[in-house]
């Protein structure tokens, strides 16, 4: 029988596949011409299963900045089974955090943050919705807004006085000051008084240093790119030990919060008798919103967690980096102190009311926030829906990372971006830039509806406590040390890998320290 008329099965399958691919390609091109299907952003190829995860390394902020130089300011990476889009320029950040703000207002369910945030029941990691809005409203009105900050100025003044006093004692004893230890102790006590009417530590020492180390460990662990977050099938294995570490930190932190809440409840009658209220009192009295939404007891614990973590270590990090940069550049340190002497003098301590008259100090703080943002990749955003941003298709269930660190070092935006040069904020277009989310060249607190609720408080803390340290003391490195280690430790925050130590000596008249 003649079989020549039959088609080889392999040839038939190949022909059919080519036809289907041709039709699919035509359909894709047609949809693109009609505006129905935008392309994915460019990005690197990864490896099987893990995708681009191996390209991230131990310093994701700098690795992603290098990849962005190759692939562009809007970049898409497939990491495990998840997709992530990275914005690495001011215009890219604006496209996501302003134009597409509503689509990216949620947070991903990061396994490393689940335990420490009480199952995402805090304000920072909660998804956008009525309860988040209520927590945000309470925090803004009664703790972090301009009026509330003014009401608590006396607490900041008292804790700054105590901090300076402790450092003066170390100076008299010939001991070096560990900058983050001293600042975190002061800030934790300040947050404790405002939130729960109590100081957390009597003075800087073993307990406050252990607290600081716990916060650093927490923020470092929570910022890791955990394999389990991107490959859920292996999440139960906790390959990097992140979840185990976070559960241990959560247990210790929760014990501290429970103890403080019990003490707070026991003192309620005395506070009422004295006519005093703190933030937790206000939340308890206003825990039900107009729409019927309620802040639960777990939400309150989550809020306290937010305030102690974001209110202490992040501000301390900026102050430490600023001092380290100025110790490397004595001329900058001298100019800042000369301005303080001219405006404040040496017969009294700095007051917050002096800050508007200290433009160079403000410029120093902006430059520290530009070069060393406390949250280098911000907090991750998440979209539950397909959307189009800046001409690119972003699939649903994608994370958004805004590389704040890369934006601050973008040579097309900042001349000599690796130089610490506060003068850049005194003249020209940069002089009008503020770090509060309105100028995407400098967004250390993020931008849009999920901008850090404590942005005003953060700026007050940094201005006042850094200014106080510069005004109250002369600074030098310990004997025998000539270089400052400027390495970073990546996490949700970006502290110095080696804490800054320095010798200080009083520079004000003795009555000013009382």
Using a cut of 0.85, tell me whether the model's pTM lies above it.
Answer: yes
Q: Who wins on pLDDT, 412 or 221?
A: 412
Q: How many residues does the chain have?
A: 514
Report the Cα–Cα distance between both ends of the chain, in Å, rounded. 112
Average pLDDT on 19-27 reads 48
Average pLDDT on 414-425 reads 97
Whether 498 has a pLDDT exceeding 80, the answer reads yes
Pick from 126-140, 238-252, 341-355 the range whose average pLDDT is largest: 341-355
Average pLDDT on 374-400 reads 94
Sheet arrangement for strand 501-506: 177-178, 501-506, 473-476
| Residue set of the binding site for heme | 452
**pLDDT value of residue 477:** 94
Percentages of the chain per state (helix, strand, coil), in multiples of 5 = 55, 10, 35
Whether 228 has a pLDDT exceeding 90, the answer reads no
Whether 26 has a pLDDT exceeding 90, the answer reads no
Confidence of residue 205 (pLDDT cuts 50, 70, 90): low
Average pLDDT on 304-318 reads 89
| Residue set of the binding site | 452
| Domains of the chain, each with CATH number or no CATH | 53-513 (1.10.630.10)
Average pLDDT on 63-87 reads 95
Q: Reduced to 3 states, what is the DSSP secondary structure of residue 76?
A: strand
Average pLDDT on 111-116 reads 83
Average pLDDT on 338-344 reads 98
Whether 242 has a pLDDT exceeding 60, the answer reads yes
Per-residue pLDDT of 152-203, as tens digits, reads 999 999 999 999 999 999 999 999 999 999 999 899 899 999 999 988 887 6
Average pLDDT on 4-24 reads 44
Whether 490 has a pLDDT exceeding 90, the answer reads no
Average pLDDT on 37-63 reads 90
CA distance 464 to 318: 12
- Which residues, in sequence order, are bridge partners of residue 394? 387
Which range, of 28-32, 153-157, 370-374, 487-491, averages the lowest pLDDT? 28-32
Average pLDDT on 420-441 reads 94
Measured in degrees and rounded to the nearest 5, phi and psi for residue 513 equal: -90, -5
**pLDDT value of residue 203:** 65
Contact 475, 334 (CB under 8 A): no
Residue in the structure block whose two tokens are 């404040």: 344
Whether 47 has a pLDDT exceeding 80, the answer reads yes
**pLDDT value of residue 24:** 52
Q: Which helix (H) or strand (E) holds 304?
A: helix 297-310
CA distance 267 to 248: 29
Average pLDDT on 328-350 reads 97
Whether 231 has a pLDDT exceeding 90, the answer reads no
Q: Round the CA-based radius of gyration of the chain to a whole number and report it.
A: 26
Q: Look over the chain and give the mean of its residue pLDDT values, rounded to a whole number.
A: 88
Whether 14 has a pLDDT exceeding 60, the answer reads no
- Which residues, in sequence order, are bridge partners of residue 476? 503
Pick from 52-61, 84-93, 104-113, 428-437 the range whose average pLDDT is largest: 84-93
**pLDDT value of residue 36:** 58
Confidence of residue 476 (pLDDT cuts 50, 70, 90): very high
Average pLDDT on 402-417 reads 96
Q: Give residue 508's region: left, alpha or beta (phi > 0; psi -120 to 50).
A: beta
Residues 6+ apart with CB under 8 A from 406: 61, 64, 65, 68, 88, 89
Confidence of residue 5 (pLDDT cuts 50, 70, 90): very low
CA distance 337 to 346: 10
């Amino acid at each position: 029988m003649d079989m020549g008329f039959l088609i080889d099965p392999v040839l038939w399958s190949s022909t059919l596949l080519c036809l289907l691919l041709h039709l699919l390609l035509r359909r894709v091109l047609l949809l693109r011409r009609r505006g129905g299907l935008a392309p994915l952003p460019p990005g690197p190829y990864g490896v099987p299963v893990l995708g681009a995860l191996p390209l991230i390394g131990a310093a994701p902020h700098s690795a992603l900045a290098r990849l962005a130089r190759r692939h562009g300011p809007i970049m898409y990476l497939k990491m495990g089974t998840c997709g992530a889009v990275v914005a690495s320029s001011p215009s890219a950040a604006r496209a996501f955090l302003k134009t597409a703000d509503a689509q990216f207002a949620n947070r991903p369910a990061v396994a490393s943050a689940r335990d420490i945030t009480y199952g995402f029941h805090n304000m920072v990691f909660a998804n956008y919705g009525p309860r988040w809005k209520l927590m945000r409203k309470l925090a803004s009105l009664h703790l972090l807004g301009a009026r509330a900050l003014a009401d608590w100025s006396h607490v900041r003044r008292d804790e700054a006085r105590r901090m300076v006093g402790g450092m003066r004692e170390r100076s008299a004893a010939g001991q070096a000051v560990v900058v983050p230890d001293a600042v975190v102790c002061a800030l934790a006590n300040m947050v404790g008084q405002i939130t729960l009417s109590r100081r957390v530590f009597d003075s800087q020492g073993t307990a406050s240093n252990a607290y600081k180390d716990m916060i650093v460990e927490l923020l470092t662990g929570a910022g890791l790119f955990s394999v389990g977050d991107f490959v859920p099938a292996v999440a139960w294995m906790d390959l990097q030990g992140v979840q185990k570490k976070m559960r241990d930190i959560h247990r210790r932190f929760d014990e501290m919060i429970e103890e403080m809440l019990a003490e707070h409840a026991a003192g309620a009658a005395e506070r009422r008798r004295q006519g005093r209220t703190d933030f937790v009192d206000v939340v308890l009295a206003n825990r039900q919103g107009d729409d019927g939404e309620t802040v639960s007891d777990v939400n309150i614990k989550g809020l306290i967690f937010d305030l102690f973590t974001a209110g202490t270590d992040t501000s301390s990090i900026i102050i430490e980096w600023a001092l380290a940069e100025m110790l490397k550049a004595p001329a900058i340190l001298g100019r800042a102190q000369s301005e303080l002497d001219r405006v404040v003098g040496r017969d009294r301590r700095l007051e917050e009311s002096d800050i508007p008259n200290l433009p160079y100090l403000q410029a120093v703080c902006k430059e520290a926030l530009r070069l060393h943002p406390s949250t280098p990749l911000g907090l991750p955003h998440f979209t539950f829906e397909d959307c189009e941003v800046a001409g690119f298709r972003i699939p649903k269930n994608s994370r958004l990372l805004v590389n704040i660190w890369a934006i601050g070092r973008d040579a097309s935006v900042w001349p000599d971006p690796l130089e610490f040069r506060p003068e850049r904020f005194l003249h020209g277009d940069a002089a009008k830039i503020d770090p509060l989310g309105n100028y995407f060249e400098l967004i250390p607190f993020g931008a849009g509806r999920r901008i850090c609720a404590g942005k005003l408080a953060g700026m007050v803390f940094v201005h006042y406590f850094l200014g106080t340290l510069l005004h109250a003391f002369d600074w030098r490195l310990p004997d025998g040390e000539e270089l400052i280690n400027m390495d970073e430790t990546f996490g949700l925050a970006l502290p110095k890998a080696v804490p800054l130590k320095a010798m200080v000596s009083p520079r004000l008249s003795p009555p000013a320290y009382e």
